[in-house]
Amino acid sequence: MARIYFDNAATTPLDPEVFQAMVPFFTEKFGNPSSIYSYGRETRMAIENARKTVARILNAHPAEIFFTSGGTESTNTAINAAVFDLGCKHIITSPLEHHATLHSVEHLSNDFGIKLSYLNVFPNGQIDYDHLENLLKESKEKCLVSLMHANNEIGTITDIEKVGNLCKEYEAIYNADTVQTVGHFPIDLKRLHVHFINAAGHKFHGPKGVGILYINENIKIHPFVNGGSQERGMRAGTENIYGIIGFAKALELAIDNLQQESSHIREVRDYMKESLMKNIPGVRFNGDPDGKSLYTVLSVAFPKTEKSDMLLFNLDIHNICASGGSACTSGVEKGSHVISAVAPGSNQQTVRFSFSKYNTKEEVDVVVDKLKEMI
């Protein structure tokens, strides 16, 4: 039976067009971008063109875009820089963040005495904006607000504009984890009051192990990897050229085709939601799927039964790829921290289905039929 891949929030397959754009940089265009002769100039030019493409799409200045190894490195860097270079002594975040954020802020709190506040969250995964404003208003120390734009497990979207305006008003540094939204939504950095955003190429049909960190031109941080002068002296080390080329190409394709692809994906997701409601008694959905939500994610709460306990395992047996929350929690006994925060003590079996342009309603039919048999 053909494999059905419904785990695109974990990672997406590489677009063949992206692969084609990368190929020459594995073969004939192999020069070190720091070399002064033609081979080097050729790859240097390719990297700078990729940077310009990314900057144009996000409406940033090319000097504000730094290529990194992905979302985790970027958000770690932003958080550390806010504390060690920008003087933030109080971090405001939420219990729903990705571990790339949570583990970073816990480390800063435990080992460096940085004050840590977690926002209250509503059952649909929305943060409490009043709580955020009160914390900002009352803080005696300079704050870093580190919040994800969209939740990778349940899809809930945070109002990045509203948070940015609050951060501006209270002079806080704002790091938005945009890993699940770059390439899926238009982002206009000139309009937003944000100091850092991040992205990972593999979430929008680009290669793995490459991402960006956007650093607003008005703030200055120290180099985050020391050594050579790559990335304008901020992140030393010979560049991941094919990754960078692939990242820019994937972002370009994603944004060029955004309208058409997003409406297709939304249709597939909504079709699955309806089909589950018709066919599985007691099914519920986590997050805010009909409101402010990623159109790529459907987090399903199945009633807990002996059979539903084995759901992910049985889906896998039938060649259906989905995850128990996020990729980091799948295969691990520990439950999802996101579900625990939005539905404490709930008796549910969560499966996150997440979709891409390659998925179809026919695949949904197959998956729902199998789920009916399993439950």
Ligand X SMILES: Cc1ncc(COP(=O)(O)O)c(C=O)c1O
Chain positions contacting ligand X, by CB under 6 A: 70-72, 98, 100, 148, 152, 177, 179-180, 200, 211
SS3 content of the chain, % helix, strand, coil (to 5): 40, 15, 40
User: Least distance in Å: CB of 134 to ligand X?
Assistant: 25
Please say which residue, 7 or 275, places its beta carbon nearer to ligand X.
Answer: 7
State how far the alpha carbon of 47 is from the alpha carbons of 42, 55, 163, 198, in Å. 9, 12, 32, 18
Distance of CA 213 to the CA centre of its chain: 12
Residue with CB nearest ligand X?
71
State how far the alpha carbon of 98 is from the alpha carbons of 105, 186, 270, 338, in Å. 11, 22, 25, 9
Our answer to whether residue 167 is catalytic in this structure is no
| Among 88, 143, 167, 328, the one annotated catalytic | 328
Nearest to 230 by CA among 26, 39, 21, 43: 43
Please say which residue, 118 or 275, places its beta carbon nearer to ligand X.
Answer: 118
User: Least distance in Å: CB of 82 to ligand X?
Assistant: 16
User: Least distance in Å: CB of 23 to ligand X?
Assistant: 22
User: Least distance in Å: CB of 121 to ligand X?
Assistant: 15
In the numeric block, which tokens belong to residue 190? 């000139």
Please say which residue, 31 or 211, places its beta carbon nearer to ligand X.
Answer: 211
Q: What are the DSSP calls for 54-79, one per residue?
A: HHHHHT--GGGEEEES-HHHHHHHHH
User: Least distance in Å: CB of 163 to ligand X?
Assistant: 15
Please say which residue, 31 or 207, places its beta carbon nearer to ligand X.
Answer: 207
Angle CA 321–326–327, to nearest 5: 60
| Matching residue, tokens 């080329």 | 245
Q: How many CA atoms lie within 13 A of 282 on its CB side?
A: 11
Helix axes 258-279, 241-256, angle to 10 degrees: 80
Under 8 Å between Cβ of 297 and 287: yes
Please say which residue, 43 or 126, places its beta carbon nearer to ligand X.
Answer: 126
Q: Calculate the CA dihedral of residues 263, 290, 326, 256 and round it to 10 degrees.
A: 20
User: Least distance in Å: CB of 79 to ligand X?
Assistant: 12
Distance of CA 90 to the CA centre of its chain: 24
Please say which residue, 77 or 152, places its beta carbon nearer to ligand X.
Answer: 152
Write out the catalytic residue numbers. 328
